[in-house]
Amino acid sequence: MIQLENVSVKYGDAIALHPLSLKINEGQFTVLLGSSGAGKSTFLRCLNLMNNLDSGHVRVSGFNGNWNRQKLQRLRRETGMIFQQHQLIVRQTALQNVLMGRLGYHSVLRSLFPLSKTEQELGLQSLKRVGLLDKALCRVDRLSGGQQQRVGIARVLVQQPKTILADEPVASLDPATADEVLSLIHSISQEGGISAVVSLHQVDLARKYADRIIGLAGGRIVFDGRPEELTEAK
């Protein structure tokens, strides 16, 4: 469970998130729905403590209060982050990018290759799960946008995360590919009992996949409920 208590964020004088409190239960697929500038990225960065809080506390099951370096490292290992722009290393293969999720950026760049068999197998399993086993040795800049995002998902899977945070993971994809990629994140979350918090600006996709929708506008929660409770007006 993730719990935010009275959390707020400012950038200079500008309030990006007004004080908010909520709980996110384990195993749920939660969608943060809002337009650009609503505060979705800021909210997500609070959940893994990548953003400085102006007020409040974040508690994550097993951890609370005093966030020392060690606890933060563990939290981030257990929390996989997927981004709109994939954040892949362009000249590396899909497999190398995936293993980054496990070994960390610097160790991969320092070329700790050849990798152990176990590492390679874990990486290949993750690529298989996202349907890209045959692209393992392809450079990621030769892959389509949808395939690149699948590599981003495989990179998170290899971490064996307890929580997946995804910041507009399908915003740069065409509608059909967006639906496929979101469906993949949804089934991975359901199969593994992995909590997912995914930001989107598309109401139709939110309705289709969310267990819970949190609507954000101007840094405030304007809706919090089940998809069927979201009326057209919102």
Spell out the residues 6+ positions from residue 140 whose beta carbon is closer than 8 angstroms to its own.
86, 88, 89, 90, 92, 93, 94, 97, 148, 151
Rule CB under 6 A: is residue 34 a binding residue for ligand ADP? yes
For β-strands 2-11 and 14-24, DSSP reports them as antiparallel
DSSP 218: T
Among 40, 86, 155, 162, binds ligand ADP (CB under 6 A): 40
36 is a site residue for ligand ADP (CB under 6 A): yes
Total residues at the site for ligand ADP (CB under 6 A)?
12
Q: Which of residues 107-136 bind ligand ADP (CB under 6 A)?
A: none
Query: Of the candidates 30, 31, 39, 47, which one interacts with ligand ADP according to CB under 6 A?
Result: 39
Map tokens 């933060």 to a residue. Answer: 72
Minimum Å gap between C-beta 232 and ligand ADP is: 21
Q: Which is nearer to ligand ADP, 16 or 94 (CB)?
A: 16
Q: Which is nearer to ligand ADP, 31 or 95 (CB)?
A: 31
DSSP character for 143? S
Instruction: Tell whether residue 51 is a contact of ligand ADP (CB under 6 A).
Output: no
CA nearest neighbour of 125 among 117, 75, 224: 117
CA angle 164, 65, 46 (to 5 degrees): 40
* Neighbour-count burial for 195-231, b at 16+ CB within 10 Å, e otherwise: bbbbbbbbbebbeebbbbbbbbeebebeeeeebeebe
Pick out residues in 146-175 that bind ligand ADP (CB under 6 A). Answer: 168
Kindly tell me which residue out of 6, 11, 73, 107 binds ligand ADP, with binding defined by CB under 6 A.
11
Only one of the segments 34-42, 92-100, 106-114, 186-194 lies at the binding site for ligand ADP (rule: CB under 6 A); that segment is 34-42
Site residues (vs ligand ADP, CB under 6 A) = 11, 14, 16, 34, 36-42, 168
